[in-house]
Chains A and B, each alone.
Chain A
Amino acid sequence: MSGNVAADGMQGSGRVRSALRGFLTGLGGLAYAFVIWTAVFYAIQLSVGGMSGYGWVVLLLPAVVTAVVFAVVLVTTRRRSIGALVLVLLAGLGLSAVFLLNTFSYVIRNLAALTGS
């Protein structure tokens, strides 16, 4: 009887932990999607005046890198605690933002080569 109660308690706590993990992963996904959206928005804005193929690759690279970083974070923290998941999600988000701003810097300095003008 008490064994069943304990098993139910453990199962319930595991379910709560799994739900919390899913919620935090979703929240992190939204934040990563925000970075991807920023990269795509900037690419579309710049492409109004014309954009070379190389320019598209450079401008959309931050979006691809951000998605890859998110996938890597999810895979590497699969068997880790929720705290580790949050920390690695935040570190990956910072890395994605760093890559995005580095790309912005490169685009500003090489705008003529990217737009083909």
Chain B
Amino acid sequence: MRSDGDDDALSWDGDDALEARRPEMRPRRRRPQDSPRSDSAPKQPDAPAAASDPSAVQATDAGDDDEPQGLSTVALVALGILGGVYLLYTVGWVIGGVGMQAPVMFTLPAFLYQAALWLAVLAPALWFVAVLVVTRGAKDWVRIVWLIAGAALLVPWPFVVSGGGGAL
């Protein structure tokens, strides 16, 4: 608890702990080559001018972080949208595949068609997982491009051409 007189009225118990938790209030790590500045000393032209700039200090601190950076917000939104599209494709393949079943099975044994249908229904999920796992270390745009390619290749045409009803 502070005992600064006037400031007591404007502070709450625990404020110090909150301030210590804020990242921008964290004391900057002093590097060995940093010498203590004194106002009387003349400014050297090659001295880092960023030392007095708070934004530059934050940038320096962010650069010091060794933690791996996660997906950007844009990539996350794109992944969500494409995941929704893939989910719709799965539903489209179920409806379109079942609607096409009767005319195809007129000439094809049931187990052959059923196996192909199951693979087609699972195809969007398999593609999505494969892209996410295989391109784990790649850049975000590479993942998005592969997912867009999958969305172009896996369109459930039997569902689309039947007008969404499933019956041909």
Contacts and interface: CB of A to CB of B under 8 A. Distances in A.
Interface of A: 34-35, 37-38, 41-42, 45-46, 80, 83-84, 87-88, 90-91, 93-98, 100-102, 104-106, 108-109
B interface bracket (residues with beta carbon within 8 Å of A): 20 to 34
B134 A41 contact: no
Contacts of A108: 100, 103-104, 168
A32 B129 CA distance: 20
A91 B130 contact: yes
A94 B89 CA distance: 12
Contacts of B134: 80, 84, 87-88
A84 B123 CA distance: 16
Contact of A38 (B112, B131, B153): B112
Interface of B: 93, 96-97, 100, 103-104, 107-109, 112-113, 115-117, 119-120, 122-124, 126-127, 129-131, 133-134, 153-154, 156-158, 161, 168
Contact of B108 (A45, A80, A93, A98): A45
Contacts of A83: 133
Contacts, number: 92
Contacts of B156: 98
Contact of A109 (B113, B131, B133, B161): B161
Most chain B beta carbons < 10 A, residue from A37, A45, A102: A102
B130 A90 contact: yes
A68 to B, nearest CB: 13
